[in-house]
Amino acid sequence: MARPREFKTDDAIKKAANVFWEKGYLEASLPDLLDGMGLTRGSLYKAFKDKKTLFLLVLAHYEDEAVGAAKACLTDSSVPDGRDRILSLFAALCAAVAAGDTRGCLLCSAAAGYEMSDPDIAAAVEKGMSGIREGLEAAMNDSPLHAGIPDVERRAIANVLLTQYIGLRVLARSRMPLGIVEQSVDSIRRLLEMDGA
């Protein structure tokens, strides 16, 4: 009879996420993962098969947690103006940097890394990015200030905002001074205050 697994898969994935967040996909070695997850080599391979499979599970978990939270913020109907939702998302980013969070976004870090040459990882990253873009588009659709502009232009603005979001999360990871992040967010606020953007 097989021995029961002595760890919770979700907990192990969260611990692996911290290792990948700190080291990056390529630099996270097997010893790093074993130490960070508190697992033996046999347990890791039995539960997760290999590093790539584990990373894909980490990205899926991150999409559920972090991307899900971003989409919830951007589609929160209790905040009637979608522009306010967008600004809230960027304000939260500033607050995280001000609080000393220099991890950035795991998804954004992966998007900027060599691991994107792997089609499975690239597809997982694109899926997560699409989730954020969909949230931004939904918020733009609920912005009275931008109600009169064509759908294609609202989508274009959502794409610009996604680019800014990714860039700012990467800047946070590079430990760029908070003032630069705040100035960028202030520029986003001014963009969104323009009638028809």
In the predicted model, what is the mean pLDDT of residues 78-85? 94
Helix axes 151-173, 119-141, angle to 10 degrees: 120
Mean pLDDT of the chain: 89
Give me the amino acid identity at 93: L
pLDDT at 5: 53
Cα separation, 168 vs 165, whole angstroms: 5
pLDDT at res. 4: 46
- CA 94, chain centre distance (Å): 15
Percent above pLDDT 90 for the chain: 60
Whether 154 shows a pLDDT value over 90: the answer reads no
pTM for the model stands at 0.86
User: Residue 83: phi, psi to the nearest 5?
Assistant: -60, -40
pLDDT band at 184 (very low <50, low <70, confident <90, very high): confident
Q: Residue 116 gets which letter from DSSP?
A: G
Please answer whether residues 137 and 158 qualify as being in contact, where contact means their C-beta atoms are separated by less than 8 angstroms: yes
The arithmetic mean of pLDDT across residues 153-163, rounded, is 90
Q: Stretch 172-177: mean pLDDT, rounded? A: 82
> Is residue 59 pLDDT above 80, yes or no?
yes
Residue that is written with structure tokens 């905002």 in the block? 161
Please write the tens of the pLDDT for every residue from 7-30.
789 999 999 999 999 999 999 999
Contact 169, 104 (CB under 8 A): yes
Q: What value does the mean pLDDT take over residues 26-47?
A: 94
- 86 vs 98 pLDDT, higher one: 86
User: What's the confidence (pLDDT) of residue 143?
Assistant: 87
pLDDT of 99-151, one tens digit each? 888 888 899 889 888 899 999 999 999 999 999 999 999 999 998 887 788 88
Give me the pLDDT at residue 26, please: 93
SS3 155: helix
Q: Under 8 Å CB-to-CB from 9, ≥6 apart: which residues?
A: 47
